[in-house]
Amino acid sequence: MARDDLMVKYFGNKDYRTIIALDYPGYKYKGRYCYEHHYIWWKNTGHVVRKNKEEIHHINGDKKDNCFKNLKLMPKNKHFNYHINPVSLIVKLRCPNCGKLFEKPKHRTHLAKSNKSKATFCSRKCAGCRNQFNPLTQKEIEENVIKIYKKKMYE
Ligand SMILES: [Zn+2]
Ligand SMILES: [Zn+2]
């Protein structure tokens, strides 16, 4: 929904449309222009996007598509991270000691590049149960990783 009834100009970040919105209660450029996506969000939810704390994400990636359904409010830091790394690799694991099933981000398992361990345990306690006197079997190591999948960080 483009608000073509209102004059479109570009203030602030030039990727985003700004419109004259005298009724907008949040920050206004030159006292009258605000980001169209902030305006649409406010009109639909009653919430004013908090400057430097929150941002509006454009779900389909088109920063000029300000249809309400294409907008999503995000904390500013999460929004930044989302654009750097929208998906993360998750590993489904079986604890080699107790057999419990659990999940962890790949960078926090033995599959991470810097990690020298042979397997990932469900807890420090389980890890502590397996030392040189009670070593992991090849089978336990092989069955540790069940699968690796991609998960969207933020939807
Ligand atoms: Zn975004
Ligand atoms: Zn365990």
**β-bridge pairing 18-20 and 8-9:** antiparallel
Find the mean pLDDT for residues 7-17.
Answer: 73
30 CA → ligand 1 middle, Å: 25
Find the mean pLDDT for residues 114-143.
Answer: 95
42 CA → ligand 1 middle, Å: 17
**What 3-state class would DSSP assign to 87?**
strand
- Ligand with an atom nearest the CA of residue 129: 2
Asked if residue 154 has pLDDT above 90, the reply is: no
97 CA → ligand 2 middle, Å: 5
pTM: 0.58
Domain segments of the chain as ranges = 8-84, 87-152
| pLDDT digit string, tens, across residues 72-100 | 999 998 898 888 877 889 999 999 999 99
Total length of the chain: 155
129 CA → ligand 2 middle, Å: 9
| pLDDT digit string, tens, across residues 19-63 | 999 999 998 888 999 999 999 999 999 999 999 999 999 999 899
Both structure tokens of 31: 């006292």
**β-bridge pairing 33-35 and 87-94:** unpaired
Stretch among 7-11, 48-52, 82-86, 132-136 having the lowest mean pLDDT: 7-11
- Ligand with an atom nearest the CA of residue 61: 1
